[in-house]
Structure 1
Amino acid sequence: MVTTKYNPLKILIVLLALVGLVIAPIHGQETISSAKSHNTLTVQLEQDFLNLENQKRTETAKYSSQVEFSEDFTSTTYRDPITNVEGWGTGSIRSPKKSFSLAGTIGSPGSAVGVYVEGNYAYIADEIGGVRIIDISDPTTPTFAAVYDEWNSEGYDVHVTGDNAYIAGGTFYILNVSDPTSPKRIVSVFGTLNQAYDLDVAGNYAYVANGTYGLRVFDISDPTTPFLADSFGPSDSYQGVYVEGNYAYVADGSNGLQVIDISDPTTLTGVDMIDTVDARDVFIAGNYAYVADAASGLRVIDISDPSNPTLAGSYDTPGSAYEVYVEGDYAYVADGSSGLQVIDISDPTTPSFVDSFGTSDSSQGVYVEGNYAYVADGSNGLQVIKISDSVTPNTIDFASTNHRARDVHVAGDYAYVADGESGLNVVDISDPLNSISVGNYDTPNTSWGVHVAGDYAYLADLHSGLQVIDISDPTNPTFAGSYDTPGRATGVYVDGDYAYVADYDRGLRVVDISDPTNPTSAGDYDGSGFAQKVFIAGDYAYVANRLDFQVIDISDPTNLTLAGFYDSTVPYFDNDVYVAGDYAYVAEEQGFTVLDISNPATPTYAGGIDTTGAASGVYIEGDYAYIADGSNGLEVIDISDPTSISPLSLVGNYNTPGSAYDVFIAGDYAYVADGWGGLNVVEIARHRTRQYESLSYAQSLKVYTISDSATITRITLSSSYSTPTDTSVAFAITLNGGTSWNQVNPGDENVFETSGNDLRWKADLSSSDSYSLVTAQINSVTITHEHYPEPTITSNLANNSIHNSNSEIVLTISDSSLLNEIRSNWDNSGDRVLSAPLASTFSEFLPITEEEHTLYIKAEDLVGNFINIRFAFTTDDTDPTIVSHSGLSDNVVISGEHEIIVTATDNVEVDRVEFLIDDVQEHITTSSPYMWQWDTVDVSNGDYTVTIRAVDKAGNEIEKSIDVTVKNIQGPPVIEIFGITIPIDPGTLITIAGLSIPVLGASYFFYIRRFRYKDIYKMYERLYTGDNLQEIKKEIKTKYPKYSYSKIDAILRKGKKIS
């Protein structure tokens, strides 16, 4: 049995969570409201809440005008300091250039001439030191792992496949490197006459470039007994070989490139050749052979027809090209004394220089892996060169949603978005460049999670539990069924006939969906904490819990049991989980954590990294984790080794316009549920395509130059800019100083949903290689915008307030003489048109149904400009209830002080409780418990009616009356001794020695009270210094705890000690 342990901090958090939801997330991720709030709507400008089409202006705008702003970048007047592009003030802006950098280095005893990378190790061929094996798990600090140098063996080239390393080093020999720290020789083949310079391995054969002895092919199906299968040659000097398909391409020195048919490795035949100056190495990519041609640099040979190779292009490097490695659109050339040269081969017919990095000795071998180039640099050993910063995603499109996108699931050509209070939003992504919303289903509550299976979308709909939506026609989603869970449904995962619902404070719920139109409860695990999301893998449900990480055994969905848990010493507030292989990848508000779940009963910490934002969602694809990181957008983390995640593992980021809640990967795109930013479609660069982006941005200060009383409505941005291959420029506009941005296309007119008068622009400039000398450039930006004086509409009732149906809403409109018409609409139930001439005010009564209502108002001027405003009110005609009261009873005689305590409730909210004596208000309290301390000595003896009145937020009220008779002792106090009543002046102390004095209760207490009053007066006179009245009251309260502060005030006023 697994026993859950808790630390005191978590217990405190649980207590706080019971009041509402867990404390507000650290990085701005909002908490879940306890219900659909009465004050969730705010007054805001919107495009058209009345479902009216946008009306274009048809005549000259009498009350509007055109304004043009131009930026030519010759001054920095409008430059926002956050800008990081170069050149603002010089006539154009461009993304900054970046150079290669040396990440790490390690020496070699002889001369390093060849390198091969496999996993976390680089294998160095040293021409007089054999094979050196270097640990590159941290490329910035390569460390020596092992060496093989028996008989002073030579090393010219190395190739690693599986557990074996094949070395061309004069002779051809094979090492077992299953343990890279302890290589062992398997066999040596001496039939190469000490001229084995290069090799390639394909299938069961090793192809050795054997210098003047040509090409030799060895059968290595049994690595312990390799034998010569065939040879081809002799020739000038076979220096390099690359096998692709049925052909071996051989760098043959002064004879150029040789093409040899190896379809039968035991019978080699020559196909053709093409002459080059001094071919030393060759690399095949696509239909081209890239030849390191010594002093002639890089030659590109078209081999689309291997029987007829032709020269396609060339680039003369400054040094002597020894070796070449092609990755993506770049050829990396080991160029002897000129170090590493990087050539752009995106167009193989016109190779062009990108950048270079000078090494210390003579670069003779190169291998590219990840963000690094590993260079064999002669006597300087291994040089590790950082060639890129990141695998950076690039946004390509936005699809606005109706509310706040919280979760997304992609199926086929559609993205299904859990869109908060707007329910399910369906986006057509068949063309990711032009994604568009095509369908919507408004669920009863707030959609937090979505999972698609077959023809149904399953929504976690907070207080409405599981909602099942038929999406057989994605453009017309319809209700299929529902199951109302007892908690707050925040996540859902469908597996077979069951939907597993993360039900927040009610744990994990299993719903039988074998009939989607009639979901039923199957089982549950109501454990500790707050279940946020769930992922199913095999017989286990992995639950992201706000307090700990839980593994639930679901082998029997009707009988869930806790299998294991991970309880960190600090609560990290798990938000999401994704399981891949033996690891669970958890998005937490503190960052990203990897747990080893190879034994589900005992999850253990494997690695992690603190992200910049609040990680809310996670999706695993290949060697990368894609993190929806709240306000920090989308982050990409290299998880090729889940146990070695460090800040270096963070390889990419895209800062989305909203707040990233979740992410789903499909094909080459990441679909990000971005809160108010809607659905973001982001192009993601894969590890092998190596499209590295350098993102720079330019942003302006406020460029609006007319009266702040006017409002911008329509904008057209134009620009002169250049975007060379693999670079881009994206523009955006804000009308509210940066609170929200809208992406715009140059030359298009844009009508904005949210108007304003704080106009700014920004541009993102990107290039596909972080170290490229080719950058995007902007020469000018021109913005034409239309504005108009905006009428205002105000209400006598506060927005988001509560009233009864007798309440009249009076709307006041400025400049009504300029208006053509006003339309009002309650809850989208049809427009009521008020035509000209228009009064400056008009009224509406709240609907009589007791619920939240929305009043939409559209005011249109004489030329078609319009403004839309919405007000939210709640109708409440139900009176509050006085449940109970204590401290007074009806028709009783009372004296002295009485504390009245009232319990009152309401269907919406109690506003206040009033206490009245004979219809005169004496006291009001607004917080429960509703209390009043009534001192009857402040009134004359007689009959009184005490009224308790409870009033709710809508003004509905209820009263409770209590009739009492006040009878306090009047005149001087008396003391009765042996039946003799003696009047005593107030304050007089009587001492009768030796007598037992029976004292009547009322007279006694009255006497003592007067005596205490005198004592209180003396305390005041003794302690008062002029500014310490509150401190004196506290001391009096401490000595006489039965007196309330209001009573102490009354005593001091009677003694004329205070005014």
Structure 2
Amino acid sequence: MIKKQNILANLICFIVIVQLISLSTNSSGQQINEQNNFFTKNSVDSSLIEAEGCSELAQWDNNYGDPNDIFVQDTLLSKIAYVTLDSAGLLFYDISNPSKAKLLGHYTDADGLNQIEVKEKYAFITGGDYGLKVLNVGSPKNAKLVINFDEVDYISNFIIHGNYIYGLQWRGLFVIDISDPKKPFLENTYELNYLFGPNDMRIKNNFLYLIGFEGIEILDISNPRNPEYVTTWEFGIDIYSFDLYDSTAIITNSYDVFFFDITVPQNYSLITKFRDVRCQSNSIQVVDHYVFSFSNNGFICFDVEDPNNVIKVNEFIYQFGYLARALIQGEFIYLIDYYSGIVIIYIGDLTSTPVNVGNVLTNGHAADTYVQGNVAYVANYGGGLDILDIDNPTNPKLITRYKANLGFYSTAYLENSRLYLANYFTQTIDILDVTSPDAPVQLNSLYDNEFLFWLPYVEMVVKNEIAFVIETFEYYHIYEGSLSIVNCTNPANISVINSLSNFDAILYDLDVVENHLFLATSNGLLIFEIENDYELTLVSEYSDISSLISGVFVEEDTVYLAAQDYGLIILDVTDTENPVLVGSIDTDEYPGLAFGGYEVFVENNIIYLADLSQGLLIYDGTDPSNPIPIGSYFRQDYSPFYAHNVRELVHFNDIFVSDDVVFLASGYSGLLIVHQDDLPTHWMSLQNIIIISLTTTIPFVIVGLIVFVIWRIKKRI
């Protein structure tokens, strides 16, 4: 009996010691949490962040904006590509291995950059109204502005010839001496004789050819400081592009490539022409005796060694491009494409079959995200699919980037090991096998004329390999939505099994629970019953508080709605034919402008609302009739559409929550990862409770055991 009492007494003492240690540690930790509960910071120079009850863990943003121009420089150790961006400065890539381009640096102290030429360690760049920028790019990781030469502005095009820059303005030519890149000076200006301003230039044998839409003006630049007028060629056709090979002038005009004999410049004559309706040529370049005609759909190569016998050598055709620039250098062609980023094509000895060997995506914005386990799938509108390792949410790592059919993915949904993507541009549903996230395999792609996708209002839910897809068509501000049900059971033979059209509304979002489909539209919430043959029967509608519903999430018998002209609406749908209002919160700070809720997600009674005026709002929804605010996250970034000193509220296109981590698809700000700091006790899952209990208690048990043993030894002594 005494031994039992001693054992009980010892156990009580041990528990008391552990609890004292645990309480003292937890109390200090709680104080730290309270101090960090609200903060305002600039996590990046361009961002303003305000958060309450949560904190930003990381940002994944590989999207820099549309590329405008490229220059490739061979050095002793590497090959460097300089890429100007429409809204985000200048990128530096090591493309020694074209299939694995490495980002070396990013110069951000400018936007709206256009043309770039590099001479030795100096880059000369135009863009906007600031004239000519000269950067020291000797170290790509630390590019520095040398001078902003503003004696000329609005430069449409320029070319470097020796120590001089010849640049174009509207009906004007200027000459800049760059013998000392640190001190360029305006050497001369020249008023052009031709009526319409030129848009491109070529230099051959000390002659400067100024290419306008209706003619070509030729200047003699034997004296580089003082160009002299020679003549003007008018070919009687619209000129898209021009180049020369010996005494042959090559001109493109829409789908035609013309070859003129200019042996006698004043008496030129047409040799031949070539037409290909697949390629509306907008640029040509001559290398040796080969002519490359570039279009938005690829390029064609001609051999013009014998101008009287022009031979088509090869071609490279692809779909849905939008070419900005083309550069031929050595064995490679570098294409700057607004849709596809930087495309690197190997051409070998110019006659080899062209092979696409590299693609660097710079544009796009995060439109949707889906998370499963330690992998996040981010659908980038225009930028393909990013598959990320998020095992450590504070440091997401790219597993791979997948892009096919231009990769204008607006929606991603994962079921089992199949990822379903809605491709806005090609109007297809693409199905990928992502059993191995590092090597996604496309199983099939469904094109159907029911898929309109003319607006980025495309959403999709997949249940038991049946995809429910909504899209909206706009024609002069008249909206027509449609809903398609697609059987994807056999990926090799996917087909539309039912569809509804003629919705006179924008279809924003949907959710499917058991045998009911919930549809968020600009005319309110529609609830359909799904019959056994996938016929749909409308059973009820809801638009009492708001009709502009852009987000819907269903949890058992409760429907959560994001209303753009109101905020958050919560309905009880125990009886789907009679939805009952349970609770609501008005978040719209600008009544009448529809700046309220946009998207909603619910996990363990915590409601996450993406709001158009307040960012991310977080509520405890244990009592749906009285949601309690418990956190918020607000972020402003510099807009890619305005001057670099103008910030805009980041718009969250999609929300996905996994455990206590929130993933926000945030347009041009990429994927934002946010942690909810202080959660109500009920929010924690059993798994979290066990993990937290073990990780917080075990250390105290060990320390308590040591203290207890020491105390017992001393007592015996």
- TM-score of the two chains, using structure 2 as the length reference: 0.47
Structure number with higher relative contact order (C-alpha < 8 Å, ≥ 6 residues apart) = 2
Q: Would you tell me which structure has more helix in proportion to its own residues? A: 2
Larger Rg: 1
- TM-score of the two chains, using structure 1 as the length reference: 0.33
Q: Would you tell me which structure has more strand in proportion to its own residues? A: 2
